[in-house]
């Protein structure tokens, strides 16, 4: 056993931390959020040059063959820097989904373009009535003579308006909740009969409503085997949770540090408020919550580094984002007092992201239920 | 012991209900119920209706234009207003500075300010906190120096709610420094149109800007705007605080908000089922309602005791602590119920008369902004940490 990073991993860590210190300070982020696209082309280009866009992909697909531990290191630093570029939607989520789909020209080309940084993709799984149940699919794909005709609505598709390709789940057979009968399709963002309503999300990212009305596509745009998409979606979720937990871990660590700094310098009644025991104990609790997130994140990455087989560690990390993250976030704001609720202070920006990470892919309640299904 | 209201009180309740039914702007009430922002005009419309009816100041004695209601009647009035989602009466005039002027003001001050509070012609704001003085309010450093028939005031006030709408501000300023901090503070009224005042909005996490920084630079204020005696401002502030704390439990509004969460939970949001079938969600909802029931009884007890001549002491801090926590829990439940619809940031769609297309159900638009904004309730009005200090000292005797 050795829980220290390898030399290569230390290298990823120091390069991403340096990049964020040098190029991704908060004013810059706020400027990017205000831009029409919601991301920055030159930053994305740097991601590509630094090898991060290819990091989690196998070498035979043009990637760098990184495992989940490598991805965790990158995502934790992204969390600390509150990076709002569409890395999770394009690389982690869509990238994994494509990797899990059977080999094919279209798939390989999209992957190659994504890794090169020339194209972006997003994945639409949620629907207005589905909440967190990704097998609740009412978008229908009907077979035509030379392809498919799709009707439906994918909601809150992260990075949907920033993408060249929109991947969606659609029902090709079965009833509304059946896990069999779900297939994965690829849509060109500029397809006729495809309506994309792009909007900012409250945590600084972008999402879109994707509406398909009699949208016709060729056969090759069916990416999964017909009716067999659900397992791919499930694995994609597991993979994305590992990345998301690492991001949460970076955010929580940073929020703890910022709060510690604040209570050490903010004076009331003639002393720094961190001198009061009542405040000290709460700050210590924040430290522990942050350490727990870090542990659970590392555990989920390590136990799934080669293949996604340990659901328990993944669900555990997700549950702690919701429960521990919520507690830490609320305490961070409270200990910042009035300053904590201002848009100007960085702590609030982190709080918003952390809060919404609980909802991402299903909240802690949802995963408590999934976890219970494993052993009982 | 019994919880029944007297016949007289029940008749009063019916009168309040029918007044609200006849006078409340339904669109304004809908917006409040859904957690959407309302304008100054919306609040003003309601305040003027109250004013015309003679109901603007339930907490003032009759001789000053108050309603002369009993505490029970005031409670019923608040309850009905909360249940109907009326605009909140802006507290800085009628609830805060009004009682202060009645208690400590000169005849001229009463004549000058009270009628305009009653008619809602003048809006007030509160200049207490400063960047360096929050929980430790007595350390405030905004200075007032006497110069002929004026004070010259310099300093910065912060977290000033609605300063951008206010005509007048009451402030705590330092008039003496060579003494205990509390003994050198004065309570002064400032015309917001005075030269040297600038108001800068503070944007909060939800994207709104209801609070402000107020900069005072050589602001001249006539000596007659001093309330009570010079350097007795702390006494005035403590008196005011007692008035503020009674209504801070917000039971009626929280009951209304919780019943809205229940309505949302009944919708089929969870993969074809309603959230009422989701035990984890329901546990949280019910735990919140249990707390709210306890708070409701505690508030009724405070009123019942006060009617018997025992006004609330430091125990009122319990109402503030739990009341503010419950308000936060309710926004947390709504946020959770929203699922993915907590994400879309729809500031423009939230505005009145907006034609922006809405993403997701209309009740979800405000869920995340409300959750973020409501973090303030455990911080303002004396943070919950300060309330606990008060309880530890005054009730526990520690």
pLDDT of residue A245: 98
Question: Which residue bears the tokens 């029944």?
Answer: B4
**Token pair in block for residue B225:** 């705007």
Give the residue-averaged pLDDT of A175-201. 97
Subunit contact B359:A130, Cβ cutoff 8 A: no
Those of residues 231-250 in A touching chain B at CB distance below 8 A are none
pLDDT of residue B155: 98
- pLDDT band at B65, cuts 50/70/90? very high
Q: What secondary structure letter does DSSP report for B92?
A: I
Candidates A129, A205, A359, A360: best to mutate against B (most CBs of B within 10 A) is A359
Residue boundaries of the structural domains of chain A:
7-88, 121-230, 235-375
pLDDT of residue B139: 96
Give the residue-averaged pLDDT of A355-370. 98
Are the folds of A121-230 and A235-375 the same? no
pLDDT above 90 covers a percentage of chain A that reads 98
Q: B157 in contact with A at a CB cutoff of 8 Å? A: no
**Residue B37 in this model has a pLDDT that exceeds 80:** yes
Residue of chain A whose Cα is closest to the Cα of B201: A342
* Domains (range + CATH), chain B: 7-89 (no CATH), 124-236 (2.40.110.10), 248-394 (1.20.140.10)
Q: B358 in contact with A at a CB cutoff of 8 Å? A: no
Candidates B211, B271, B324: best to mutate against A (most CBs of A within 10 A) is B271
- Provide the CB-side half-sphere exposure for A165 (13 A, CA): 28
CB contact at 8 A, B350 and B275: no
| Cβ-nearest to A348 among B205, B270, B340 | B205
Those of residues 109-128 in B touching chain A at CB distance below 8 A are none
Q: Regarding predicted confidence, which is higher, B344 or B309?
A: B344
Give rounded-to-5 percent helix, strand, coil for chain A. 55, 15, 30
In three-state secondary structure terms, A267 is: strand
Those of residues 337-356 in B touching chain A at CB distance below 8 A are 339-346
- pLDDT band at B398, cuts 50/70/90? very high
Subunit contact A202:B368, Cβ cutoff 8 A: yes
Residues from chain B contacting residue A369 (CB–CB below 8 Å): 280
Q: What is the dihedral of CA A25, A26, A31, A37, to 10 degrees?
A: 80
CB contact at 8 A, A138 and A129: yes
| Cβ-nearest to B383 among A136, A270, A337 | A337
Question: How far lies A287's CA from each of A255, A264, A324, B378, in Å?
Answer: 10, 15, 11, 22
Subunit contact A129:B271, Cβ cutoff 8 A: yes
| Cβ-nearest to A341 among B204, B343, B385 | B204
Q: A372 in contact with B at a CB cutoff of 8 Å? A: no
pLDDT of residue A306: 84
Q: B217 in contact with A at a CB cutoff of 8 Å? A: no
Candidates B335, B338, B339: best to mutate against A (most CBs of A within 10 A) is B339
Strand partners, A167: A123, A186
Query: Which of A12, A82, A77 is closest to A50 using CA atoms?
Result: A12
pLDDT of residue B247: 67
- For the beta carbon of residue B178, count every other beta carbon within 10 angstroms: 6
Q: A34 in contact with B at a CB cutoff of 8 Å? A: no
In three-state secondary structure terms, B201 is: strand
Subunit contact A207:B203, Cβ cutoff 8 A: no
Tell me the nearest-neighbour CA distance from A274 into chain B, angstroms. Answer: 13
Residues from chain A contacting residue B379 (CB–CB below 8 Å): 334, 337-338, 340-341
CATH fold for the domain made of A121-230 = Butyryl-CoA Dehydrogenase, subunit A; domain 2 (2.40.110)
Q: B139 in contact with A at a CB cutoff of 8 Å? A: yes
Measured distance CA(A327)–CA(A332) in Å, rounded: 9
Measured distance CA(B380)–CA(A338) in Å, rounded: 8
Measured distance CA(A185)–CA(A169) in Å, rounded: 6
pLDDT tens, position by position, A58-97:
999 999 999 999 999 999 999 999 999 999 999 999 999 9
Measured distance CA(A21)–CA(B210) in Å, rounded: 34
Give the residue-averaged pLDDT of B138-165. 97
pLDDT of residue A95: 98
Subunit contact B375:A330, Cβ cutoff 8 A: yes
Q: Which helix (H) or strand (E) segment is A370 a member of?
A: helix A364-375
**Token pair in block for residue A220:** 């090759």
Subunit contact A342:B204, Cβ cutoff 8 A: yes
Residue of chain B whose Cα is closest to the Cα of A131: B270
Query: Which of A321, A329, A319 is closest to A351 using CA atoms?
Result: A329
Most distant pair of Cα atoms in chain B: their distance: 74
Give the residue-averaged pLDDT of A291-301. 98
DSSP notation for A35-69: SSSSS-HHHHHHHHHTT-SSTTS-GGGTS----HH
Give rounded-to-5 percent helix, strand, coil for chain B. 55, 15, 30
* A25 Cβ contact list (under 8 Å, min separation 6): none
ipTM of this complex = 0.96
Candidates B205, B342, B370: best to mutate against A (most CBs of A within 10 A) is B205
Tell me the nearest-neighbour CA distance from B183 into chain A, angstroms. Answer: 16
Sign of the Cα torsion B234, B237, B242, B246 reads: negative
pLDDT tens, position by position, B82-131:
999 999 999 999 999 999 999 999 999 999 999 999 999 999 999 999 99
Residues from chain B contacting residue A359 (CB–CB below 8 Å): 339-340, 342-343
**Token pair in block for residue A374:** 């494993």
| Cβ-nearest to A131 among B202, B270, B378 | B270
CATH fold for the domain made of A235-375 = Butyryl-CoA Dehydrogenase, subunit A; domain 3 (1.20.140)
Candidates A88, A89, A131, A368: best to mutate against B (most CBs of B within 10 A) is A131
Most distant pair of Cα atoms in chain A: their distance: 79
Q: B396 in contact with A at a CB cutoff of 8 Å? A: no
A-B contacts at Cβ under 8 angstroms: 131
pLDDT tens, position by position, B218-272:
999 999 999 999 999 999 999 988 766 556 789 999 999 999 999 999 998 888 8
Counting other chains too, the contacts that B176-180 makes at CB distance below 8 Å and 24 or more residues apart are B176/B231, B179/B231
Q: A268 in contact with B at a CB cutoff of 8 Å? A: yes
Strand partners, A212: A152, A194
In three-state secondary structure terms, A305 is: coil
In CATH, the architecture of A7-88 is Orthogonal Bundle (1.10)
Those of residues 69-108 in B touching chain A at CB distance below 8 A are none
pLDDT of residue B306: 85
Residues from chain A contacting residue B380 (CB–CB below 8 Å): 338
Q: B212 in contact with A at a CB cutoff of 8 Å? A: no
Q: What is the dihedral of CA B50, B52, B58, B59, to 10 degrees?
A: 120
Residues from chain A contacting residue B344 (CB–CB below 8 Å): 156, 199-202, 207
Q: Which helix (H) or strand (E) segment is B126 a member of?
A: strand B124-127
Question: How far lies B294's CA from each of B81, B322, B346, B388, in Å?
Answer: 21, 9, 36, 18
Subunit contact A356:B343, Cβ cutoff 8 A: yes
pLDDT of residue B2: 85
**Residue B314 in this model has a pLDDT that exceeds 90:** no
- pLDDT band at A257, cuts 50/70/90? very high
């Amino acid at each position: 056993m050795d829980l220290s990073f390898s030399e290569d991993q230390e290298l990823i860590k120091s390069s991403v931390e340096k990049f964020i210190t040098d190029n991704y300070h908060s004013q810059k982020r706020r400027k990017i959020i205000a831009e029409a696209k919601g991301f920055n082309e030159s930053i994305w280009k740097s991601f590509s040059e630094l090898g991060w866009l290819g990091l989690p992909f196998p070498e035979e697909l043009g990637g760098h063959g990184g495992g989940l531990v490598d991805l965790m290191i990158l995502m934790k630093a992204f969390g600390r820097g509150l990076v709002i570029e569409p890395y999770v939607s394009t690389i982690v989520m869509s990238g994994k989904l494509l990797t899990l789909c059977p080999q094919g020209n279209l798939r390989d080309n999209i992957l190659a373009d994504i890794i090169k940084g020339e194209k972006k993709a997003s994945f639409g799984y949620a629907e207005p009535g589905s909440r967190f149940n990704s097998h609740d699919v009412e978008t229908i794909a009907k077979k035509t003579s030379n392809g498919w005709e799709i009707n439906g609505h994918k909601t809150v598709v992260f990075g949907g308006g920033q993408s060249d390709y929109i991947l969606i789940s659609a029902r090709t057979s079965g009833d509304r909740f059946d896990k069999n009968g779900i297939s994965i399709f690829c849509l060109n963002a500029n397809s006729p009969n495809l309506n994309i309503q792009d909007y900012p999300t409250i945590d600084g990212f972008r999402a879109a409503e994707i509406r398909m009305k009699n949208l016709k596509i060729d056969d090759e745009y069916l990416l999964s085997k017909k009716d067999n998409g659900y397992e791919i979606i499930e694995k994609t979720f597991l993979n994305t949770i590992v990345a998301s937990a690492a991001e949460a871990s970076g955010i929580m660590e940073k929020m703890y540090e910022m709060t510690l700094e604040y209570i050490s310098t903010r004076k009331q009644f003639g002393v720094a408020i961190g001198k009061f025991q009542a405040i000290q104990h709460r700050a210590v609790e924040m430290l522990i919550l942050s350490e727990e997130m870090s542990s659970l994140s590392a555990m989920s990455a390590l136990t799934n580094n080669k293949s996604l087989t340990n659901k328990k560690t993944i669900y555990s990390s997700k549950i702690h984002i919701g429960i521990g993250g919520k507690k830490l976030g609320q305490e961070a704001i409270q200990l910042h007092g009035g300053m904590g609720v201002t848009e100007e202070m960085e702590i609030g920006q982190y709080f918003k992201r952390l809060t919404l990470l609980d909802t991402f892919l299903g909240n802690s309640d949802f995963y408590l239920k999934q976890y219970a299904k494993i052993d009982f | 012991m019994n919880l029944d209201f007297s016949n007289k009180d029940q008749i009063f309740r019916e009168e309040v209900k029918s007044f609200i039914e006849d006078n409340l702007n339904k669109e304004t009430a809908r917006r409040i119920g859904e957690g959407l922002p309302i304008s100054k005009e919306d609040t003003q419309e309601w305040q003027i209706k109250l004013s015309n009816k003679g109901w603007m100041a339930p907490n003032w004695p009759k001789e000053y234009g108050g309603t002369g209601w009993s505490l029970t009647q005031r409670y019923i009035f608040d309850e009905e207003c909360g249940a109907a989602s009326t605009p909140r009466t802006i507290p800085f005039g009628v609830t805060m500075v009004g009682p202060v002027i009645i208690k400590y003001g000169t005849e001229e001050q009463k004549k000058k300010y009270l009628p305009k509070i009653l008619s809602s012609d003048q809006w007030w704001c509160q200049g207490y906190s400063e960047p360096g003085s929050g929980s430790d309010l007595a350390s405030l450093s905004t200075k007032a120096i006497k110069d002929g028939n004026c004070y010259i005031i310099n300093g910065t006030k912060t977290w000033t709610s609605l300063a951008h709408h206010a005509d007048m501000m009451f402030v705590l300023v330092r008039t003496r420094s060579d003494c205990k901090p509390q003994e050198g503070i004065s309570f002064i009224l400032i015309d917001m149109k005075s030269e040297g005042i600038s108001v800068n909005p503070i944007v909060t996490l939800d994207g709104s800007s209801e609070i402000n920084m107020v900069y005072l630079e050589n602001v001249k204020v006539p000596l007659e705007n001093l309330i009570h005696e010079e350097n007795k401002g702390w006494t005035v502030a403590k008196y005011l605080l007692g008035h503020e704390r009674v209504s801070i439990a917000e039971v009626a509004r929280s009951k209304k908000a919780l019943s809205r969460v229940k309505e949302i939970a009944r919708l089929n949001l969870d993969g074809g089922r309603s959230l009422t079938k989701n035990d984890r969600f329901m546990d949280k909802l019910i735990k919140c309602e249990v707390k709210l029931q306890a708070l409701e009884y505690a508030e009724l007890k405070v009123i019942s005791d006060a009617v018997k001549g025992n006004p609330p002491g430091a125990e009122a801090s319990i109402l503030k602590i739990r009341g503010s926590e419950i308000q936060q829990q309710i926004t947390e439940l709504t946020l959770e119920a929203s699922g993915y619809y907590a994400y879309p940031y729809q500031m423009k769609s939230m505005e009145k008369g907006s034609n922006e297309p809405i993403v997701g159900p209309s009740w979800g638009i405000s869920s995340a902004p409300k959750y973020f904004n409501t973090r303030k309730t455990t911080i303002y009005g004396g943070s919950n940490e300060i309330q606990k200090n008060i309880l530890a000292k005054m009730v526990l005797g520690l």
